[in-house]
Structure 1
Amino acid sequence: MFLLKKILSALAVPPFSLILLALAGVLLSRRHPRSGRWLAGVALAAMLLMSIPTVSILLMQSLALPPPITTAQLRGVQAIVILGGGVDDDAPEYGTDTVGRATLQRLRYGAWLQKSSGLPILVSGGSPFGSRPEAEAMKETLEREFGAKVRWAEAHSRDTAENANLSAAMLWPAKITRIALVSHAWHLPRAVPLFERQGLEVVAAPTAYDTWPRSYAERILPSAEALHRSSTALREWIGIAVQRLRK
């Protein structure tokens, strides 16, 4: 089911879905030239639109991103939970799997929160495709590179729902019921409810907001990064919709 979900997600979310739509338009144009060209044109126009930074940032902001955690909120929680965001497989410079860029951003912020609060940290991330468990790489990075102590490492989850379920199971024996949940700002609108369903009181601790470029040119010139941002936002909206239907 996990692999099927990943495949369906890849098929549904741009750019792959738009590429398939454009190819369908090319094939259709052999029998219906006008309709085929129109379909391919719509797909390419949509991909171009999603590659514009202004459009991608507006899509991100439509997710109702939570505000940064405050000092008062941080004082009211018992632990910091950091969610994994992917690994770099077989990184040659390290000689093993290591945390990816998204995970590193989350770890940096989690370490910063611990230094200002002294709260214990739980890292969560498994090994869905058989590589090194993400939580192990997260724990190693936090302790070696940031000097932050990790109390719990949940290394079996494959997605956000399992992050919530398995992390809660580790926290309950320690009587931890109130947490600060660290992840990307775009991820928390979907992640927070999943943790709350496990009976935890959750304060969002978002990081890595997508902010507006300073120059006008950077706001309007298409880029691969903007396309990736748009794709991420749409994937999160699909995930939120599915989550609400299940609820």
Structure 2
Amino acid sequence: LLSPLRFGVLLALLLVLTWRRLPRGLRYLASLPLIGCVLSSLPVVANLLVGIAESRFPSAQTCAVPLPQTIVVLGGGISRQPVDAADVDSLGETSLRRVIGAADLYRAHEPARLVISGGTSQYGVAESSLMAALAQRLGVPAATITVETESHSTWQNARFVAALEPLIDRRIWLVTSALHMPRSIYAFEQAGFEVCAWPTDSRLGHANSIGYYLPSIGALDKSDAVIHEWLGEAAYRMGWLRSVSRDPWSGGDER
């Protein structure tokens, strides 16, 4: 129900079934969420929301010297059942982009320690293991990689990485999707880390045709992702969902 598309469809069906029974004032009021759903399907609106969400953290250029020598990258999901822990083609697009960003950062700060956080999926293979295999293919030495394989939410990413043995530095580069970064920074700061942000996988788009002002499924997906991140961060800040094994804002490609 947090999805604009699902909410809009359900509300439209409800209005169709009850329209004649509703008082006129209530009809107008009930139409407001529908208008919001229509607006969220417009790329111009969706990208405005994404721009606001992706700008809510300090840039990497503001990270104080000396720069961190530990890189923590968060899992972003897998797209199909992997054959084994080396089947990197099963990684979702978000995970792929995060690993590529982490590998680029590693090469810029070599030697560094790369910590990959992501628990065992429904297919029985930890996404962090798959991401580690890809990082090695991209030139990161296996000896510098540590995997955390138990977490299933952003809050758990932070807590379980903090509990790794041997302990990792408390000053880290944090690699995740730009849209996911504000919630991730909050979770890791609450776990005792000082974070330098290294965002990947930006979803911000710009006007390039008339289609930018017409409804699209892609725009709904972006609006949905922003709403998920804002609600997930709000839940963390209010103390909700911190102790559950899987929270409703940890599915799909935006953990």
Please give the TM-score of this superposition, normalised by the length of structure 2.
Answer: 0.80
Could you say which residue in structure 1 is the equivalent of 2:163? 169
Q: Deviations over 1:80-125 (max 9, x none)?
A: 0000111112269x97872100111111111100011112111111
Aligned to 1:4: none
* 1:7 aligned residue: none
2:125 corresponds to which residue?
A: 132
Q: Which residue of 1 aligns with 2:48?
A: 58
DSSP-derived class of the 1:132 partner: coil
1:106 to 98, 108, 111: 98
Pair 1:149-2:141 in alignment: yes
2:7 pairs with 1:17: yes
Instruction: Go from structure 1 to structure 2 and tell me whether the alpha carbon gap of 1:225 and 1:152 turns closer, same or farther (over 3 Å shift).
Output: same
User: Could you tell me which of 49, 60, 63 is aligned with 2:39?
Assistant: 49
Report the residue type matching 2:40 in the other structure: M
Q: Does 1:160 align with 2:154?
A: yes
Aligned partner letter, 2:215:
P
Partner SS state of residue 213, structure 1 = coil
Distance in 2, matches of 1:241 and 1:69, equals 24
Cα contact 1:25–1:36 (8 A) shared by 2:
no
Q: Would you say the 8 A contact 1:28–1:36 is kept in 2?
A: no
The sequence identity of aligned pairs, in percent, is 34
Corresponding position of 2:252: none
Which moves more between the two structures, 67-76 or 213-222? 67-76
In structure 2, what residue type is equivalent to 1:62?
A: I
TM-score (norm. length: structure 1): 0.83
SS of the residue 2:116 aligns to: strand
Q: How many equivalent residue pairs?
A: 234
Which amino acid counterpart does residue 126 of structure 2 have in structure 1?
A: P
Residue type of the alignment partner of 2:79: D
What does residue range 87-236 of structure 1 map to in structure 2 within 5 Å?
87-90=78-81, 98-118=90-110, 119-144=112-137, 146-149=138-141, 151-170=145-164, 173-236=166-229
1:79 to 1:218, Cα distance in 2 relative to 1, 3 A: farther
**Poorly superposed stretches of 4+, deviation over 4 Å:** 33-44, 71-75, 94-97
Aligned-partner residue type, residue 137 of structure 1:
L
CA–CA distance in structure 1, aligned partners of residues 26 and 225 of structure 2: 28
Higher helix share: 1
Q: Which runs of 5+ in 2 are unaligned?
A: 241-255
Change (3 A) 1:71 1:237: closer
Does 146-155 or 59-68 show the bigger shift? 59-68
- CA 73–104 in structure 1, closer or farther in 2 if over 3 Å, else same: farther
